[in-house]
Structure 1
């Protein structure tokens, strides 16, 4: 039986994700957007490319929610894009309202689906989707760490003049400026990165990674990154559809035991096993004392956003 993936938001990221998924040839894709004609036009254009690339994917564009019914996976990309000079935190209220509304619509029609979030500020938006959907936390998670890690690996490979496939690294924490690249465990072909790249250059690469999204926003001026974020989403979807048990850094819910990191009841970027049921477990990796301290600082930044959502009138998350 063919699987069904709904993409909420047919902008650059959503449409590019549809492109990545269509290359698979084994899924049905629904591209939803509120802009009349836009998702239909993009879906038709992409459908007409299928004979050229030899894919049997079926792509439908719609302005209605009924076409999304019985989806296996729903990806929410809708939200106000970040503009030059705007922080992810500035997006908090408006995007929480958008994510909440979209989550209610899709989960009503696809109650057995898995939700993957992209909308910023990502970790806080996962809390909104979890609350509105009423799903188990394993079925609600977000794309962040894969993208941040990919940027980190890219910059390291360029600096070391090495293949990116040989760069092994993780970036954890909130999807924001206080994300935590794990230098202590980063290596290139098994060689510790500190032996290949001088300390001052590593510090510059860490900073560039943290500002990676803003760098692209400042260059584009009228939008934000979409190729790499959508490729990361496609990797997560593949892990679910094929039950790959991939260990991927995602925004996942830590639960009561803190996921082994001492951080309770919070969505945060951590390595997790992703399979057919969603988040199957959080993987605990060894951190240096400085990395653990930085991860907890990052967690507090996310927690502050979650508390802010509770403080709006009306609150966008239930108050304690």
Structure 2
């Protein structure tokens, strides 16, 4: 008898609720929405709301809420969004000491109850959080990834399409590096239906778009008073779906590097193939001297964040 996929979502906040809805609407499997005991009612309430939506939208995925890690047992995928969201004026680095404690507790729960899961981390500061997840769980690098490059590339893609007056579906972009101010939008890999974007959008506009992409998260925080959640959830679902369906999509993900691009023992956004075995291949692309220098700077910032984490 065929078995449904099981997707556990740790954190029932804005992103968690959106994740559960996307899992259900796409019928990727059954979803378990988990939060701390004080917010168990929120997790159960959102799950019930989504289940009732299924009666209207015509999906039959099961969604449940819980505060007990035992309920994530047997999960094929675990998506982690637990932690304190950014508030206006707060950098991702400011979150480090708070969210580090949370991610260590979450990682211990996943290690005990879902030891064979593919883990996607969304919690910020992303690069440090996903590194800590792998460290605590001891899972192989193929099964622990961070959602960053997919989101940053989507933001870049959106801004490019707007500037070019083109359909966003025709734009291809790639953003590498850490998930923060030092991220590297790779112009040399940016095209609109195969045409280099540099032939279609003026340099001054592209420079402004790159700056806007780097500050894309902060822009939304200033407007809403909290972090983005719709696009981040969609990014994580793209990664989870590629794993569950063995789609072998090429996606920019925060991946453990062991010599690729010249970096060792750190997580950073690079293009990878995500399939049924997890991260099946790190794709090393040619970068211009300027792009490589920016990536080096980003790697240095990520390394600093990881070193700070080790002291806490």
Give the TM interval when normalised to the shorter protein.
over 0.9
Given that residues 28 and 241 in structure 2 are in contact (C-alpha distance below 8 angstroms), is that contact kept between their aligned partners in structure 1?
no
Q: Which runs of 5+ in 2 are unaligned?
A: none
Q: CA deviation at 1:31?
A: 0.3
Tell me how far apart the structure 1 counterparts of residues 27 and 192 of structure 2 sit (CA, whole Å).
Answer: 34
Matches within 5 A, 1:178-257: 178-221=182-225, 223-255=226-258
Give the CA deviation at 1:25. Answer: 2.2
In the TM superposition, what is the alpha-carbon distance from 1:187 to its structure 2 partner?
A: 1.4
Match of 2:264 in 1: 264
Question: Is the 1:26–1:56 Cα contact (8 Å) retained in structure 2?
Answer: no
Aligned equivalents of 1:229, 1:89: Cα separation in 2: 18
Shift of 1:160: 0.5
Out of 150, 156, 166, which is 1:146 matched to?
A: 150
Deviation at 1:18, TM superposition (A): 0.7
**Partner of residue 40, structure 2:** 36
Extract unaligned runs of 5+ from structure 1.
313-320
1:59 aligns with 2:48: no
| Paired position in structure 2 for 1:317 | none
Structure 2: distance between partners of 1:192 and 1:243 = 30
Kindly report the root-mean-square deviation, in angstroms, between the aligned alpha carbons of the 2 structures.
0.9
Q: What is the aligned counterpart of 1:27 among 29, 34, 45?
A: 29
CA contact (8 A) 1:107 1:113 kept: no
Cα displacement (A) at 1:170:
0.2
> Which TM-score applies when normalising by structure 1?
0.95
Runs of 4+ residues over 6 Å off in structure 1: none
Structure 1 stretch 142-151 or stretch 50-59: which is displaced more?
Answer: 50-59
Q: Cα distance, 1:185 vs. partner?
A: 2.1
In the alignment, does 2:128 pair up with 1:124? yes
Q: CA deviation at 1:66?
A: 1.4
- The yes-or-no answer on 1:282 pairing with 2:286 is no
Contact 1:252 1:269 in 2 (8 A): yes
User: What is the DSSP-based 3-state SS (H/G/I as helix, E as strand, rest coil) of the residue aligned with 1:271?
Assistant: strand
Following superposition, the deviation at residue 26 of structure 1 comes to 4.4
Task: Indicate if the aligned counterparts of 1:92 and 1:120 stay in contact, CA closer than 8 A.
Answer: yes
